Structure 1
Amino acid sequence: MTTKYNGTYDIFEHAMFLRRSPECLSVNFAQNNTLREKCCTKYHNFFAEYWDDNYMRLGVWLNYLYQWNCPQFQQECKSHTYNFSDYTNKLYLRFCKPREYYEECKSHFQDAAYIEKESLKYPTFPETIATGDSNFTNISMHSDNTKLLKYPLEPCVQASLVKIGNNSMQLNYVEVKDVRIPFCKISWCAFRSDDLKTKDLSLSLCMPSMCQVNLYILMVVAGLMGTLILLANAIVVIVLSKIMDNNNSQRIYKMSLALSDFLAGLVVMPSVIIIIRQSFFQPEEIYHSIDEQGRKVSEMSEFPMPYWFLNMAGFFTTMSLSISIYTLTLASFDRLLVVYRPLAYNKYDAINRAKTLVVITWIAGCCLGLVPFIFEGVDYSITASWIVLFEGEIALIVYSVALCLPLLLMWGTTISTLVLFKRNKSSSGQCLDDRNLMKTLSIMTGVFSLCLVPSLLLMLCTLLLEGTDIDDPRYFKHKQSMVLISMEAVTGFILTSNNLWNFFIYNSKAEFRSQVRLLYQRQFQKIRGKISRRQSNSSFNSRNASRPVLSQCVSSYN
């Protein structure tokens, strides 16, 4: 078989492969088995490396393995490595067992999707092409005549969109997939390319209805959490800044925490809703371009949202998380000084020191959020289904230095403070207020740790469990991976909930409750005063409006 470049390849994934392996561009495989086997192996490994990307189409890959008579084609027909959906199941049948595919699917075509009678041209069957010692039946469903098909397409119809044969251009269809959908199996289906221009076709059409319901539930939960986080931390900021006396350093640290949590409710949680909406319900688009060798290539949009949005969401997520850890660490050190040397502790010096350290903390959080803009090897990417965090070669190093070390310091300082507190519990140098502040901080640190531990344990399980690595499709277990991905979404919400719990911790104190109650009363009085003024103004206007009518009636009577 001779595979020759004719100057009109319009297959993005194949053009991408040829850029990496130019020796496979124009070869006579019948005369050079060594090169054929080499190209087959490279193409097989190339798909395995990028198979979860939208621009990698299973139908194109199988067709080229078939054209080149690769031994991997026969192996794939036995293993069905990428058989994760109804569409891929029918596609494997079409390539590997065409007669069985035809028998299963002919009834679907009789019932499917054509509004006009006789608009569906039934396949020409059988058409046999020799491939070694076996026969391959090529079934052409004439997908160019499927303009009136209703979506979602039947899996049989989706599989028929793939053209089988030498130098098939595959311009008429695209594959849409996502392997990381929480509470849902892998969604993988095919659309007609032309329909993307006239219909709003999204990945949600590939999902069962229950998966769509689960995603909407996640968006509702994110919206409710964001609203509660905003309201709770706004109350904390108002109470701490306008009502409570400026009498200790812990108030400064609590203010810093409340402001960082407020940012999480203002930016991070709304970004979660947008990410879920854009990733799974945004209509897909296809782009046409010309590569550096003059080939026309078509590709799917791999990123459902612009880079500036990912950078913005990642910046505020990283800043909010880092400021929370840094502030709790500094507050723990402050309480350690009180317990360790209570007589040498100066409250007013501690307040000034806390103000300076909080400013430094916010600057450090902003600098950490700007790391992807400054250094190469790290970018913002969607992880854990909807959280935007670092990803790249040095991402783990950055997190280890910038977050893990302060987190360990926070835990060590809090434990040391508790030990010294119990040892010096009867010490006369500790006043009741300092003890209450220390207990409150210990609860805050404990709650934050409880919100963080599930994510850490899940990361450990991901590293230890086999079959969850997408980059190794031969041993990939999609059901096990689906459970982990769903747990990632749950642990992500648990981690984000740490922005809410501080309000309830403060609310356990009678002083805070009384101040919040006073705040509610003042706001209620303002609202009631505005309503009463509006009512009095409206009644006054109505009386003035009735006076001309009354005077006119009196004059007419006279």
Structure 2
Amino acid sequence: MFVTQELNICTIYSAHQNIDVFNTCSAFAYAVSLKCKELNMQGLVQVCLVVIVTFDALCRAGDVSTPNRRAESLEMRDARIPQLRPGFTVQIRNCMYRPGYRKLNRRAEIKCCQFWEKRFYSRWYVGSEYLTTFLDIMKTWKCPQMKKQCKKRFFDFSPFTNIVYMRACTNQLYQRHCFNAVKNAALTHSGGRFNISSPAPNMTSETWDFMVEHLRSENMSYGELSNPCVQVALYESARGGYGRYHETIKTVIPFCGFSWCGYDIDTVERDHVSVWKCMPARCRIGISIVAAVMICLGIAILFTNVLVIAVYWYRKRMNNSQIVYKVTLAIGDTLVGAIVLPTFVSTMYLMYTTKSGMDDPGAVIDETTRGILPTRLPSDIKGPSLSRWYMSFVGFFTIASFLISVYTLMLASFDRMVAICFPMSFIRSTALRAAKWCCLVLVILVLFLATLPMYISSIAYSIVASVIISIGTKDAVVLYCVIFLLPLVLVWLSNITLVYYTKKYTSIRRSIASISHSQIASDERKLAKTLSVMVGAFSATLIPVIVVLLVSLFVSNIHLDGPEHLNETATMVFNSTEVVAVVILATNSLWNYFIYGSRDKDFKQHSKDIERAVADKLGLLYLWRRIKMSSQRRATITSLSSAFTNLSSTKSGGGSRNSRPSKASISADLPLPDNKNPQVAVISVRKLDGLETAGE
């Protein structure tokens, strides 16, 4: 009792003077207060106050160099939010929230209300701020923004947030709405400390406070914890409250709305709390379907591009400059199937299933409860879901695969332009040698550009388009224009020029070229058309991504940092469209195989030969023959049984011996046995003999 009273006095004084009680420089004062209890020296309360004020003044003046761990953790965490101004740490110290206490200066209090509103608006969607704390601050300090929040409910995106708003804005309605659910949970999980049977109409505020006070989550199942009323009631329990309550938030879920739940610190420490457990079952089904599609697409892309490399490498022996570019393009597409698409799935898995938690314990006095309790501040993900090495690994291969595709198409377009526009000076052997050197330089350039975020601080890998990891900072816009957009425009312009000159010179070549040169020119035109089809397919898969980017620029209700205009349905549609656009873009790595097969008969034949050889080595051809043989046997037996049934029904219907159909007529209605399968032929003959015997 003495310690609580002493700490109350110290806290009230420090709160009025805007002093940080738990500055580590003032740790000695806290030790003195504990010593007061042991010695029962109540007169030392004044000494405690003097020590706190003195040490805090020294810290502010810079005479004591002991670091403030809480301030350091806030600085490190706030450094990840670039939109906050440099004076943020000082401002949050002056506007530190202590449950149950208000600022003496109303003008400073209103400024702090504006600060916390701006802070919450810029951080809520990454899980760095909690709605329960934000509304408690608005309500405790009587902020003017509280009326607007209760009227508009800008963050009411889930059943949990609905109950949170109900508690903050209409507390009596909240208590009536959640009384039965909380009472059942308290009766079951209060450890015998709570026993009440009064009905909801007779409920009073004292009854509710007593019931919530003894609510415990130790033995609750996850089904009970998923009830939003129980989740919010645990915030009011003895083990909950400011700094001891965690909210899991995820706003980017394809084919699903926002996921938002709340758990007390005991549940967070005991159970594996994650976004996956919080989201509805329909969302988990949608994510599973997206993951399955990406895995199947990745397998198909990997198989087809390995087949392209095998066909051109082992069968055609790289005797054409365009084949060099096609093999290089296939290598880049192989990275998409082997690494990029599988990491899409792993990224979703880590984002949605990694354990969510809070920062390490601190010490914040909560006068509305029981003095000092372990208190924690928000943290996006405990032991972050996407580590730095993972982001670098995935981002490198994502950028590298896309750059290889764009740059290879650009070089191949330039090669065809020279072949079509300057046919007399185009030498195949020279072009082949130049293509190999160009592809080598291309690979070195791609390796350099893909690693830029690793040694340039102004750009970094981040999640863009829901699931893809690429360069995502503001400075990356210029980089994208240089390394992506400019080569892409050159590809389009060169192909338009290529199509024009191909049509223009076709008739001229036919009139002046010899037979051999005419054949060469025909091959060059065929290669040019194939390249144009490839560029067209690439552009078609890129169109959805371009549309999504344009929509994000002109649609205002999908931006998470503007919650007052945010529409959950529009954001869900946009996020889902982003994922679909990314999947469509990834399919570009699959279409080239079918383009080669439709435009090149030799490629198609060599591809089939390799497929048969691989299938034969794996035993797939033998398995296919067995399946085909079994199906033929079943079909023959079924046909014979049907014929025998018709024969029996005809005889039982009054037919005479002479009206019996002959063996020849039966055989005419039956399928012919397979000559390659003598067993089927034997079965057919035996069945026919049996029919004849039965008929006689």
Q: Which residue number in structure 2 is paired with residue 146 of structure 1?
A: 217
Q: Which residue number in structure 2 is paired with residue 550 of structure 1?
A: none
Deviates further, 494-503 or 117-126: 117-126
Q: Which residue number in structure 2 is paired with residue 346 of structure 1?
A: 427
Q: Deviations over 1:421-450 (max 9, x none)?
A: 111222326622111111111111000110
Tell me how far 1:346 sits from its aligned partner: 1.0
Q: Which residue number in structure 2 is paired with residue 490 of structure 1?
A: 580
Question: How many residue pairs align between the two structures?
Answer: 518
Q: Which residue number in structure 2 is paired with residue 224 of structure 1?
A: 296
CA distance in 1, matches of 2:333, 2:355: 33
Q: Deviations over 1:517-552 (max 9, x none)?
A: 221333345456999xxxxxxxxxxxxxxxxxxxxx
Tell me how far 1:471 sits from its aligned partner: 1.0
Deviates further, 425-434 or 270-279: 425-434
Q: Deviations over 1:89-137 (max 9, x none)?
A: 0000001101111111112224559756875847994269xxxxxxxx9
Tell me how far 1:256 sits from its aligned partner: 0.4
Superposed, 1:88-487 pairs within 5 Å as 88-112=161-185, 115=188, 121=194, 125-126=204-205, 141-142=212-213, 145-152=216-223, 153-163=226-236, 170-288=242-360, 297-302=376-381, 303-428=384-509, 431-487=521-577
Q: Which residue number in structure 2 is paired with residue 7 of structure 1?
A: 22
CA distance in 2, matches of 1:83, 1:484: 19
Deviates further, 384-393 or 518-527: 518-527
Q: Specify which of 156, 164, 183 is matched with residue 83 of structure 1.
A: 156
Contact 2:459–2:475 (Cα < 8 Å) also in 1: yes
Tell me how far 1:359 sits from its aligned partner: 1.0
Alpha carbons of 1:485 and 1:524: their partners in 2 closer, same or farther (altered >3 Å)? closer
Aligned residue type for 1:478: E
Deviates further, 473-482 or 302-311: 302-311
Alpha carbons of 1:114 and 1:296: their partners in 2 closer, same or farther (altered >3 Å)? closer
- Structure 1 residue 59 and structure 2 residue 132: aligned? yes
Contact 2:268–2:356 (Cα < 8 Å) also in 1: yes
Q: Deviations over 1:48-67 (max 9, x none)?
A: 11111213111011112222
Structure 1 or 2, whichever has the larger Rg, is: 2
Aligned residue type for 2:257: K
Alpha carbons of 1:117 and 1:191: their partners in 2 closer, same or farther (altered >3 Å)? closer
Gaps of 5+ in 2: 1-11, 24-68, 79-87, 364-373, 623-696
CA distance in 2, matches of 1:207, 1:190: 12
Contact 2:186–2:216 (Cα < 8 Å) also in 1: no
Q: Deviations over 1:294-332 (max 9, x none)?
A: x97444343422111111001000000011000001101
Contact 2:252–2:258 (Cα < 8 Å) also in 1: yes
Alpha carbons of 1:408 and 1:366: their partners in 2 closer, same or farther (altered >3 Å)? same
Q: Deviations over 1:204-259 (max 9, x none)?
A: 22212111000001111111111111111111111111111332100000010000
Tell me how far 1:149 sits from its aligned partner: 1.9
Q: Which residue number in structure 2 is paired with residue 34 of structure 1?
A: 107
CA distance in 2, matches of 1:101, 1:413: 66
Aligned residue type for 1:343: M
CA distance in 1, matches of 2:245, 2:97: 25
Tell me how far 1:138 sits from its aligned partner: 7.5
Contact 1:204–1:281 (Cα < 8 Å) also in 2: yes
Contact 1:289–1:297 (Cα < 8 Å) also in 2: yes
Alpha carbons of 1:68 and 1:18: their partners in 2 closer, same or farther (altered >3 Å)? farther
User: Matched residue of 1:65: which SS?
Assistant: helix
CA distance in 1, matches of 2:494, 2:308: 25
- TM-score in terms of structure 2 length: 0.69
- Structure 1 residue 24 and structure 2 residue 24: aligned? no
Contact 1:317–1:389 (Cα < 8 Å) also in 2: yes
User: Matched residue of 1:378: which SS?
Assistant: coil
Instruction: Provide the alpha-carbon RMSD of the alignment.
Output: 3.1
Alpha carbons of 1:460 and 1:232: their partners in 2 closer, same or farther (altered >3 Å)? same
Deviates further, 50-59 or 174-183: 50-59
Contact 1:113–1:150 (Cα < 8 Å) also in 2: no
Superposed, 1:503-522 pairs within 5 Å as 503-508=593-598, 509-522=600-613
Tell me how far 1:192 sits from its aligned partner: 2.4
Deviates further, 15-24 or 190-199: 15-24
User: Matched residue of 2:508: which SS?
Assistant: coil
User: Matched residue of 1:104: which SS?
Assistant: helix
Aligned residue type for 1:384: A
Alpha carbons of 1:113 and 1:433: their partners in 2 closer, same or farther (altered >3 Å)? farther
Deviates further, 252-261 or 40-49: 40-49
Deviates further, 67-76 or 18-27: 18-27
Bigger fraction of residues in helix: 2
Tell me how far 1:69 sits from its aligned partner: 1.9
Contact 2:126–2:380 (Cα < 8 Å) also in 1: no
CA distance in 1, matches of 2:572, 2:502: 46
Contact 1:113–1:148 (Cα < 8 Å) also in 2: no
User: Matched residue of 1:191: which SS?
Assistant: strand
Q: Deviations over 1:265-286 (max 9, x none)?
A: 1111111111111111233243
Aligned residue type for 2:476: A
Contact 1:444–1:502 (Cα < 8 Å) also in 2: yes
- Structure 1 residue 43 and structure 2 residue 43: aligned? no
Aligned residue type for 1:142: E
Tell me how far 1:186 sits from its aligned partner: 0.6
Deviates further, 334-343 or 239-248: 239-248
Aligned residue type for 1:452: L
Tell me how far 1:156 sits from its aligned partner: 0.7
Tell me how far 1:473 sits from its aligned partner: 1.1
Alpha carbons of 1:276 and 1:232: their partners in 2 closer, same or farther (altered >3 Å)? same
